[in-house]
Amino acid sequence: MDGGREETLRRAGMAGRARGSRARPISAALPLRARASEESADTPPALRASLQQLMHLRGVAVAGQAGAIAASVALGVALPLVSMAAIAGLLIAVNAVAYVRLRTLAKPTHAEIAANLALDLVALTALLFLSGGTSNPFSLLYVLHAVLMALLLPAMAAAIGTAIVIASYGVLGQAHYPLALVNGEALPPELRQLGLTVSLAVTAGFSAWFVARITGALRDHERRLAEAVHRALRDDAVLRVGAIAAGAAHELTSPLATIAVLAGEIERNAESQAVVTDARRLRGQLEICRETIANLMAAAGHAQSAGGGPSRLDAFLESIAQMCRTTRPTAAITSEWTGLANAPRIIGDLGLRQALLVLLNNAVDASPHSVRVTASLSSGKLRVLVVDDGDGLSPDAVAKLGSAFFTTKPPGKGAGLGLVVASRAIERLGGTLLWASAPGAGTTAEVTLPMTALSVGAQA
């Protein structure tokens, strides 16, 4: 009898090791998502915003030039209208090219920004050359060009551009068509003063507007970079957890198979109903462990996941709640699925299953006597609430939830990585995880997911 028992245990251990050896480390199957959004990775937001602002400013400048020329003609100022109209047409063509560029995925560069600024500078110089040079009140617009170069170009390119602006102004002081009335008389002082006032207002106004828009774009770019760094830190923690999980999946198959054999023998040879009940409970817990390991292997692409096929949404959520009840038999977990009976069938995403289990287990840790999980559908989005009646959290602690290695549990009870994995799994599906808590008022985790990410067609 003992020899047969030893042989059974030996075969169970060998079978467990064989199953574990076929599993690839999960770290090889988990991609590092340490990038910002697609736009941040492929098109620098600050450069794209700069090109867009230049296009808008050029459009306003062309309209302003047309208005200034029309006003000058009405006031009797002699101007070469055909040549000036040709320059305005050139600026419109440049704007059309910039618009097409912005509609494509092509990446703007500092060289392209510099080329646009150079074209604008050439156009302004040509217009001033035809209308009085530096005696034209609108020569103040050179200041705006210098400001734009300082904002949009690297330091050396901005210095060179500013030198060209100064040189252009100097050349115009010596070479230009004179600005006069149609009858050949010089411009009256009051007309020149009016032009200076309008020119100063335009230069100051557009400089302030452009600086505000560009600095806003830069702040947005910095925010995106900070978010990318935060995601990279979380993903690094997820990869480390994946490597540990892969090793655990490999090592646990053998002892779990052995324990399963022993549990079966205990149940068969039990002398009391209490021992039989305990043995069956032990085998139930073992099945959960084996299912978890199967899911880990499925995440690595080497096995079929347990329960990962199409299912009803309410059945999928209830299975998660039931799994938590099985692993935490003393916890009081109530579930309510409002209006989900007719919901579309979904693929039971393993990452979402694990994320919701993490949230449920955390709620049970905080409030084992009362945990509520509810779900509802609205406007094509699934909303899941996990509510506990625990001691609650301070605003500072709520803000840190989901950060690697932050936990409110006592030392040795957790490292905070479960919430990191849960947050990343929910984000991967295009969802959000929000928290609401206050000291003494319990904690609510709110998960919102688009149904398009869960539907059978989306994951086929």
CATH of the domain at 437: 3.30.565.10
- Is 7 exposed, middle or buried (CB count within 10 Å of its CB: 0-12, 13-18, 19+)? exposed
- Within-domain flag for 295: no
Residue 64 predicted with pLDDT over 50: yes
Can you state the angle between helices 417-428 and 189-268, rounded to 10 degrees? 120
- Within-domain flag for 28: no
Residues 181 and 315 in one domain: no
Into how many domains does the chain fold? 2
Domain boundary among 187, 216, 251: 187
Can you state the angle between helices 189-268 and 2-21, rounded to 10 degrees? 160
Position 283, amino acid: R
- Tokens representing 127? 């217009």
- Within-domain flag for 97: yes
Instruction: Please report the pLDDT score of residue 167 as a whole number.
Output: 94
Position 70, amino acid: A
- Within-domain flag for 393: yes
- Within-domain flag for 252: no
Instruction: Please report the pLDDT score of residue 9 as a whole number.
Output: 47
DSSP 134: G
* Range of lowest pLDDT (65-69, 99-103, 288-292, 326-330): 288-292
* Distance from C-alpha of 317 to C-alpha of 217, rounded to nearest angstrom: 42
pLDDT exceeding 70 applies to what percent of the chain?
76
Do the beta carbons of residue 134 and residue 175 sit within 8 Å?
no
- Within-domain flag for 178: yes
Widest Cα–Cα separation across the chain: 126
- Tokens representing 24? 């690839």
- Within-domain flag for 446: yes
Residue range(s) defining the domain that contains residue 444: 310-459
Q: How would residue 236 be classed by pLDDT, with cut points 50, 70 and 90? A: low
Mean pLDDT of the 20-45 span: 39
H-helix or E-strand spanning residue 131: none
* Distance from C-alpha of 223 to C-alpha of 221, rounded to nearest angstrom: 5
Domain boundary among 144, 164, 187: 187
